[in-house]
Amino acid sequence: MKRLFPILAAISAIFLAYVGYQCLFVAPADAQQGTVYRIIYYHVPSAWTAFLLFFINFIASIQYLVHDKPSAKSATNRIVIIIGALGAGATFLPVVQQQLPAGMRPSAVATTVLLIPIFYFLIGRWFRGQMLDVLAVTAAEVGVVFCTIVLVTGPIWARPVWGIWWAAGDIRLKSTLVLWLIYISYLVLRRFSNSAQTQTLAAALAVFGALDVPLVYLSIWFFRTQHPQPIIGGGGSIDPHMLNMLVLSWMAFLLFAFLVCWSRFHLELLQREVEAAAALDSLGSAAVPMKASLPVTRSTS
């Protein structure tokens, strides 16, 4: 696996350079917004990548909370299967479809719901015990980076288009900022808390924080907002060449995010091994003075 990393890193660098050139100089500009529209090729893929990483953090946190409780783990497995099966099937019922926002495709909703059990069981198969906690914190850290890109690129686009940097009443903007703050709080808890329950508390906070992800996405479907309507999933239309560039950009971001997560995951494992070795060494050092201080009895015969 170590030999594969530099190869993937080189591929990622070439891919990002190619996509960057295509998005900035080849893809057509928007008829109304002009060149500033090109920021969509960084803003939207960053948001999708952040959402995916927060979703992985959510699944890994649930797995960590139940991994050492067989009854809770079995119950959670059944609940996840039921949610996936019933949720995907229900989206094709006429009664449910009537409740969906105009333009939202039932197939897109069903696919999203099916991803929950798929990711849940894949992560549970590949990661066990403390590895789940390492995966959760890794996904959260990298997800915060991409969410930060979203919050930076959004106002850069908004200033020339809206005339303001930030629309204070926009539910999409506020919910995204809240999502970022929740995961910043998650990382602060992981960094500065020394409690034995820190990992459990962080996992619970991650589960709570993930509930904001659907709100961020659905906010522009259910609420009146200045933010543009979604162009993927039935909410609008986009030039086919622009769509291809958008998807290619997301693929490049995903590959880059995967490599960063890979590197950060192994770094976190090494850090925990070093901390465990230091703890054992300190225990051994404390035992030596105790042994030396024991009284020595001599025979008087």
Does residue 193 sit in helix, strand or coil? coil
Q: Which pLDDT belongs to residue 55?
A: 92
Q: Which pLDDT belongs to residue 157?
A: 82
Model confidence band, residue 29 (pLDDT cutoffs 50, 70, 90)? confident
Question: What letter does residue 179 receive in the DSSP assignment?
Answer: H
On whether the CB atoms of residues 49 and 16 are closer than 8 A, the answer is: no
Q: Which pLDDT belongs to residue 154?
A: 85
pLDDT digits (tens, 9 = 90+) for 135-183: 999 999 999 999 999 999 888 887 877 777 776 667 778 888 888 999 9
Cα separation, 93 vs 88, in Å, equals 10
Q: Which pLDDT belongs to residue 67?
A: 87
**Mean pLDDT of the 17-37 span:** 80
Helices of type H across 91-211: 94-99, 106-126, 130-162, 171-192, 198-210
- Lookup result for tokens 């015990």: 129
Cα separation, 221 vs 103, in Å, equals 9
Model confidence band, residue 194 (pLDDT cutoffs 50, 70, 90)? confident
Q: Which pLDDT belongs to residue 110?
A: 80
At 34, phi and psi to the nearest 5? Answer: 80, -145
Q: 17 or 233, which is more confident?
A: 17
Task: Please say if the pLDDT value at position 301 is more than 50.
Answer: no
Nearest-5° Cα angle at 89, 83 to 94: 130
On whether the CB atoms of residues 216 and 179 are closer than 8 A, the answer is: yes
pTM of the model: 0.85
Model confidence band, residue 221 (pLDDT cutoffs 50, 70, 90)? low
**Mean pLDDT of the 231-249 span:** 71
How far is C-alpha 99 from the geometric centre of its chain's CA atoms? 28
On whether the CB atoms of residues 241 and 28 are closer than 8 A, the answer is: yes
Contacts of 72 (CB under 8 A, 6+ apart): 65, 66
On whether the CB atoms of residues 146 and 49 are closer than 8 A, the answer is: yes
Model confidence band, residue 227 (pLDDT cutoffs 50, 70, 90)? low
Task: Please say if the pLDDT value at position 297 is more than 60.
Answer: no
Beta bridge partners of 41: none
pLDDT digits (tens, 9 = 90+) for 84-133: 888 888 888 888 777 776 667 777 778 888 888 898 899 988 998 889 99
Q: Which pLDDT belongs to residue 228?
A: 63
Cα separation, 191 vs 33, in Å, equals 42
Residue of 137, 172, 175 whose CA lies nearest to 261: 137
Q: In whole numbers, what is the pLDDT of the chain averaged over residues?
A: 82
Angstrom CA distances, 123 to 51, 57, 201, 245, 290, stand at: 17, 10, 20, 30, 45
Q: Which two tokens stand for residue 120?
A: 């849940």
**Mean pLDDT of the 213-236 span:** 64
Q: 282 or 286, which is more confident?
A: 282
188-208 burial string, b = 16+ CB within 10 Å, else e? ebbeeeeeeeebeebbebbee
Task: Please say whether the dihedral angle defined by the alpha carbons of residues 17, 21, 23 and 24, taken in this order, is positive or negative.
Answer: positive
Q: Which pLDDT belongs to residue 261?
A: 94
pLDDT digits (tens, 9 = 90+) for 37-79: 788 888 889 999 999 999 999 999 999 999 888 898 899 999 9
Percent of the chain predicted with pLDDT > 70: 83
| Enclosing H/E stretch for 47 | helix 40-66
Q: 3-state SS of the chain: helix, strand, coil percent to 5?
A: 80, 0, 20
Q: Which pLDDT belongs to residue 57?
A: 94
Cα separation, 147 vs 170, in Å, equals 17
